[in-house]
């Protein structure tokens, strides 16, 4: 196992705490492997009734995945380790999505990228006043993955497209309103909640309901009509035109956000919405995302996005293509094309 995770059982409750605080618990390959092995073991253990998923310390639940590994893999080994990471992470996402025992994920603090991938499959998802939820991959030339192709199209109205194209950060109240969280609980109560769940795992839903607070008004709800109208076009060019034609300050702000993201990423995200309609189940969605991920890490936009955001931190990436019109249908077809059969993603075997 790894010291980047705390893995315990408390009576009939299994407990995973992410323990990489200096990186806001960003997931490494080793962490994903260890979590998958632990969950597979608990799946077969009749003594385990419930799984808790949280972070040990620090200001966030999980900030994403191991971007350094992905970037180095793209430049050093033709993406081999990067594909291994995605294959393992997506298996973990799928295992949580299909898990036969209830999982409670505590989205206390930063919950982005890979953190979304391990919290959204959970049956119970607890947001707090500290929650900062986002899918910011467009800023580094990747794309909303870890199941976002399944989750985002199922959010109210055009909210999913809005999140994918702007990288907007939602607070806990907004997560509850959108259905990304099932409960809103004040962070000062979480220790007591976990103690109660460990003592009474059969009463998980009643305990979460008992401790839930009324969330503040969700700002996202107040913008719902604008989101549904301006993000309704099917193309990136159409959405940009709609935002440009609106004279509100809100539209101007979101136009800046959309234009700052990698155009290829944004078009890939919109294509995910289309492709997911044909995915027969979550595993098919993950197979689709794996094909895309294996190609997106090898594109120059990814290295450039990481340079601009995480290395030089000038936040001035030079995307290629630089404009949406430069991202052609043929380019997208190649990104989404099936892999050779021996290289396709596969889930863990069923129980």
46 has catalytic annotation? no
Contact 54, 17 (CB under 8 A): yes
Domains of the chain listed by start with CATH number:
5-343 (3.90.226.10)
Q: Which one of the listed residues 108, 145, 174, 275 is annotated catalytic?
A: 145
> Which helix (DSSP H) or strand (DSSP E) does residue 164 occupy?
helix 159-166
Sign of the C-alpha dihedral computed for residues 146, 149, 150 and 156 taken in this order: positive
What value does the mean pLDDT take over residues 136-148? Answer: 96
Backbone φ, ψ for residue 133 (5° rounding): -100, 135
Q: Which one of the listed residues 36, 109, 114, 167 is annotated catalytic?
A: 114
Q: Is 127 helix (H, G, I), strand (E, B) or coil?
A: strand
65 has catalytic annotation? yes
- CA-based nearest residue to 66, from 30, 21, 116, 95: 30
Q: How many residues does the chain have?
A: 351
Instruction: Summarize pLDDT for 306-351 with one digit per residue, the tens.
Output: 999 989 999 999 999 999 999 999 999 999 999 999 999 999 998 7
- 159's CB contacts (< 8 A; 6+ apart) are 178, 220, 224, 227
What value does the mean pLDDT take over residues 261-274? Answer: 97
Q: Which one of the listed residues 36, 60, 64, 65 is annotated catalytic?
A: 65
Instruction: Summarize pLDDT for 217-247 with one digit per residue, the tens.
Output: 999 999 999 999 999 999 999 999 999 999 9
DSSP, residue by residue, 255-271 = HHHHHHS-HHHHHHHHH
Q: Which one of the listed residues 137, 171, 254, 275 is annotated catalytic?
A: 137
Instruction: Summarize pLDDT for 288-300 with one digit per residue, the tens.
Output: 999 999 999 999 9
In angstroms, rounded to a whole number, what is the distance separating the alpha carbons of residues 167 and 148? 12
147 has catalytic annotation? no
82 has catalytic annotation? no
């Amino acid at each position: 196992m790894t010291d980047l995770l705390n893995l315990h059982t408390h009576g009939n409750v299994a407990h995973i705490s992410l323990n990489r605080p200096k990186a806001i618990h960003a997931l490494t390959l080793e962490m994903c492997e260890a979590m998958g092995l632990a969950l597979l073991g608990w799946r077969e253990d009749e003594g385990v009734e419930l799984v808790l998923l949280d972070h040990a310390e620090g200001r966030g639940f999980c900030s994403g995945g191991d971007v350094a590994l992905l970037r180095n893999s793209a430049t050093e080994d033709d993406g081999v380790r990067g594909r291994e990471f995605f294959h393992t992470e997506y298996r973990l996402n799928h295992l949580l999505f299909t898990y036969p025992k209830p999982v409670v994920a505590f989205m206390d603090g930063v919950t982005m990228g890979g953190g979304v991938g391990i919290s959204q499959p959970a049956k119970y998802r607890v947001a707090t006043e500290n929650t900062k939820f986002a899918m910011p991959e467009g800023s580094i030339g990747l794309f909303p993955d870890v199941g976002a192709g399944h989750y985002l199209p199922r959010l109210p109205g055009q909210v999913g497209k809005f999140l994918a194209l702007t990288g907007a950060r939602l607070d806990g109240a907004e997560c509850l309103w959108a259905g990304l969280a099932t409960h809103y609980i004040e962070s000062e109560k979480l220790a007591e909640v976990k103690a109660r769940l460990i003592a009474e795992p059969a009463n998980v839903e009643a305990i979460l309901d008992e401790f839930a607070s009324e969330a503040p008004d969700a700002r996202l709800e107040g913008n719902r009509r604008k989101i549904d109208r301006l993000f309704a076009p099917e193309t990136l060019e159409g959405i940009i035109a709609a935002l440009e034609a609106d004279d509100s300050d809100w539209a101007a702000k979101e136009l800046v956000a959309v234009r700052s993201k990698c155009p290829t990423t944004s078009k890939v995200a919109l294509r995910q919405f289309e492709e997911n309609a044909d995915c027969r189940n979550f595993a098919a969605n993950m197979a689709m995302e794996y094909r895309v991920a294996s190609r997106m890490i090898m594109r120059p936009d990814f290295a450039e996005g990481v340079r601009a955001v995480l290395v030089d931190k000038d936040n001035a990436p030079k995307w290629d293509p630089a404009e949406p019109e430069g991202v052609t249908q043929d380019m997208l077809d190649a990104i989404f094309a099936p892999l050779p059969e021996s290289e396709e993603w596969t889930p863990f075997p069923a129980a």
